[in-house]
Amino acid sequence: MESLIMRCTVFNVLFVLLTCLNLCFSARLNPDIIIRSRDGSQQPATPSLCAIMVQIYEYPCEEHVVTTPDGFQLPIHHIPHGISGSTGSSQATVVLQHGLAQGAENFMLNGPSESLAFILADAGFDVWVGNTRTTMWSPGNVELSPNTQSYWNWSFDQLISYDLPTMLQYVYSTTGNKIHYIGHSQGSLIALGALSQDTSLTDLFAASVLLSPVAYLNNSQSIFAKDAADLYLDKLFDLAGIQEFNPLQGIGVKLLDLVCASANFACRAFWAPSTYLNYSRVAYYMQYEPQPTSTINIRHYAQMVRSGLLQKFDYGTTGNRLQYSQENPPIYDVSKIPSQVSLLLAYGGKDALADVTDVQKLIQNLNCQVQTLFMPQYGHSDFILGTKANEDVYQPIIKYLRANSL
């Protein structure tokens, strides 16, 4: 039996690998494969998230756009108050930051009764929801076209150095208030990276909540993450000259369908396992997620899985010498996050990506003020899309934020 399972596993791996090679090089020879949507139609112009997901519920919403030092235009969606309309000078400011292959909609997809953005607004917070570069809500770059290689030449290093500081500085200067930050998955990673390398950002934060915090991935059980790393699919993308990874277009659709079919988990690679996800809504979620990211960013995550380290992008020995003046990439040393920083880490016992062992390693390495909220039955997306998240997670978060607003 074991030998049969091994033969089947090897066959599946080879099948996925060979199919990926075929898809990658087909995409390279046929550029049109990566610029059309799942149904073959051209993508529409940048839509208004405020109109689509916020104002339909009669919540106020403003769309602000900031520009990073390298020219990317990032929309920030502002919900100044809830339905009650209560505002005031004492109103605490909250910034929400999404995860990998997602956008600001992630905090709104389940409507006012279950989505964190609305729940915080109704609780009296001044809510700002950020987007990193290349989400479906992002206008683009002031100089670069999405059809150029330079447009996609980034990883989460640039989100740490450019995107997050730009958004935080804008919100801070606009409101005059210190920021209560809530980041999910990649949103937690870039906060940890930013605070570890630029301690001046500490002055902008009142407190931070990290949901499904990602800092180390060597124990990750995510099928998508492990397969991408073990099969070096990230390097195949690079070899094929593919800069954009978009799971809802062209090669991304084909690869997602392939993985979902071979693993038989109904396209749950980006959500599962989730205990409290309403799977009847997955078709709706997939109208908006997953969203485009760069293949270099995917490579960076694959490097994290293989190395077990939270470090800058590894360009190889020669490339690292040119980029960093050293053979190995610099580490994002979370132990250097200043002691006055207050963090609440909320993590789940069934999170396949942010494994409990990896989160506990992060907690041990932190020297700042740390509180934890452990949810034994929660998977990675339950903290954002789970039907019980309001009661289990959001109300404790509100209590924590209020305690740190005094």
pLDDT at res. 47: 73
Whether 269 shows a pLDDT value over 70: the answer reads: no
> Within a 10 A sphere around the Cβ of 254, how many other Cβ atoms?
18
Q: Which of 16-30, 184-198, 311-325, 362-376 has the least mean pLDDT?
A: 16-30
Q: Is the pLDDT of residue 216 over 60?
A: yes
pLDDT of res. 33: 28
**Considering only CA atoms, which of 76, 56, 77 is closest in space to residue 68?**
76
Please determine, for residue 189, whether its predicted confidence score (pLDDT) is greater than 90: yes
At 128 the pLDDT is 98
Element (H, E) at 188: helix 186-197
* Mean pLDDT calculated for residue range 324-331: 98
pLDDT at 403 over 60: yes
290 preceded by cis ω (within 30°)?
A: yes
Task: Say yes or no to pLDDT of 399 above 80.
Answer: yes
The one-letter amino acid code at 163 reads: D
Which helix (H) or strand (E) segment holds residue 41: the answer is: none
Which band of pLDDT confidence, cut at 50, 70 and 90, is reported for residue 259?
A: low
- In this structure, of 95-99, 131-135, 271-275, 369-373, the range with the lowest mean pLDDT score is 271-275
How much is the average pLDDT of 363-391?
Answer: 97
Closest CA to 256 of 217, 282, 235, 277: 282
Q: How confident is the model at residue 205 (pLDDT cuts 50, 70, 90)?
A: very high
Q: How far apart are CA 292 and CA 247, in angstroms?
A: 7
- Sorting pLDDT into bands at 50, 70 and 90, what band is 220? confident
The letter for the amino acid at 317 is: T
Confidence (pLDDT) at 43: 40
User: By C-alpha distance, which of 188, 133, 154 is closest to 298?
Assistant: 154
| Residue % of the chain over a pLDDT of 70 | 76
Stronger pLDDT, 42 or 205, i.e. the higher one: 205
Structural domains of the chain, ranges and CATH numbers in brackets: 51-403 (3.40.50.1820)
In 3D space, the residue among 230, 225, 247 whose CA is nearest the CA of residue 352 turns out to be 225
pLDDT-derived band at 242, boundaries 50, 70, 90: confident
76/237: higher pLDDT: 76
pLDDT band at 36 (very low <50, low <70, confident <90, very high): very low
Cβ atoms of 129 and 102 within 8 Å: the answer is no
In the beta sheet, which residues pair with residue 357?
none
- Mean residue pLDDT of the chain comes to 84
The whole-angstrom separation of Cα 47 and Cα 63 is 11
Kindly report the pTM of this predicted structure: 0.86
Give the amino acid at 403: A
pLDDT recorded at residue 61 = 97
Q: Would you state the torsion angle of the CA atoms of residues 173, 77, 215, 388, taken in this order, to the nearest 10 degrees?
A: 130
Pairing of β 369-375 and β 205-211: unpaired
Q: Are 183 and 314 in contact (CB under 8 A)?
A: no
When mean pLDDT is compared across 10-24, 255-269, 311-325, the lowest value belongs to 10-24
Active site residues: 185, 351, 380
User: DSSP of 61-122, one letter per residue?
Assistant: -EEEEEE-TTSEEEEEEEE-S-TT----TTPPEEEEE--TT--GGGGTTT-TTT-HHHHHHH
Q: What is the pLDDT of residue 254?
A: 65
